[in-house]
Amino acid sequence: MTDKLIIFDTTLRDGEQSPGASMTKDEKVRIARQLERLRVDVIEAGFAASSDGDFAAINAIAQVIKDSTVCSLARANEKDIGRAADALKGANSKRIHTFIATSPLHMEKKLRMTPDQVFEQAKAAVRFARNHTNDIEFSPEDGYRSEVDFLCRVLEAVIKEGATTINVPDTVGYAVPELYGNFIKTLRERIPNSDKAIWSVHCHNDLGMGVANSLAGVKIGGARQIECTINGLGERAGNTSLEEVVMAIKTRKDYFDLSVGIDTTQIVPASKMVSQITGFVVQPNKAVVGANAFAHASGIHQDGVLKARDTYEIMRAEDVGWAANKIVLGKLSGRNAFKQRLQELGIELESEAEMNDAFSRFKTLADQKAEIFDEDITAIVGNNAEEA
Ligand code: KIV
Ligand code: ZN
């Protein structure tokens, strides 16, 4: 049986940690509704204890979202967990996500706590969170740079306390795919009760490997939840992109053999909404959601795609929410693409000679500007007709 991969979206929490990406309550609710249309399994709506505004946004989202689980982040203490639980009141399905750092560097320099203190606090936090919901996620922050023995000790204990999801963050984007995948695998093999929890990956993109690391965590490590954001929004260089991991899992089902519940036709609308609300422009060559992701400019590619789309397309633009793929007419375009555009514009040229003439005018113009638009073609053909 094909396993299900849980898609945990953290655009509204980790994504909002992008400098300059802060969102109002109403904007967060709009995005949450779009995430529900996208059918993400879990929406991390915010960090309730971080501000009254975030508390209110999580609470508003908890009231309107019916099909996705709504989650709040909380540090591993009773005050934060209490705030998260209060913010989530009224949710159809809710999760508390509690975390504490476990790497030697973070414990010593940031938390100024001993490993034993961290161990006790992690256990107590999960135990306390269980008073509010059965759906508890625990994250050892900076997990990937933690010592394996200590990490195993902490994770085994929090699973005993009732954590149902164990998320292993690569908080600073330091991992490389094979090592991260094997890290998850080792933890799952060494922790005796590891099968009592769902394992999750949370990868930052500091070295541009967030998506690759997440997929390795799934393939090599056996994780069954990916944490990700729309457009890869997030702290510093961002998080794993939802659109990229989802389309990788779908397009390479032959390799991953996993199912995701996402309605992929809602991906581009979600990307545009997040970009418009945050003001973060999506780079044109961004996979899946960039303006050029399904645009063909070279004559050879255009000719191939017009004959059979699979020649240069591994996914369909329409399947991810674009209206269609794009043949961009310019200096690299060939006669076939030009002819096709004439046809789409309803222009019929009488003779081969007329076509030759129009095509040669098109090439001359294309050498002078980056893209030839439909109005340019109409003008070219108009000139052609006048002179004929
Ligand atoms: O990157 C990180 O470690 C986090 C945790 C809070 C899960 O975002
Ligand atoms: Zn993070």
> Residue range 214-240: average pLDDT?
97
pLDDT digits (tens, 9 = 90+) for 23-47: 999 999 999 999 999 999 999 999 9
Angle at 197 between CA 196 and CA 198, to 5 degrees: 135
pLDDT at site 167:
98
pLDDT at site 118:
98
- Has residue 387 got a pLDDT over 60? no
Amino acid letter for position 386? E
Ligand 1: residue of 11, 107, 171, 227 to mutate (most ligand atoms within 8 A of CB) is 171
Name the packing angle between helices 78-87 and 52-64 (round to 10°): 40
Atom of ligand 1 nearest to the CA of 143: 3
> Sign of the CA dihedral 158, 111, 146, 230?
positive
Kindly report the backbone phi and psi dihedral angles of residue 265, in degrees, each rounded to the nearest multiple of 5, phi listed first. -70, -10
Cβ of 99 less than 6 Å from ligand 1: yes
3-state secondary structure of 296: strand
Cβ of 181 less than 6 Å from ligand 1: no
> Residue range 97-115: average pLDDT?
98
pLDDT digits (tens, 9 = 90+) for 117-163: 999 999 999 999 999 999 999 999 999 999 999 999 999 999 999 99
- Has residue 226 got a pLDDT over 70? yes
Report residue 386's pLDDT band, with 50, 70 and 90 as the boundaries: very low
Using the mean position of ligand 1's atoms as its centre, give its distance from the Cα of residue 303 in Å. 46
Report residue 1's pLDDT band, with 50, 70 and 90 as the boundaries: low
pLDDT digits (tens, 9 = 90+) for 310-369: 999 999 999 999 999 999 999 999 999 999 999 999 999 999 999 999 999 999 999 999
- Has residue 168 got a pLDDT over 90? yes
> Residue range 210-218: average pLDDT?
98
- Has residue 75 got a pLDDT over 60? yes
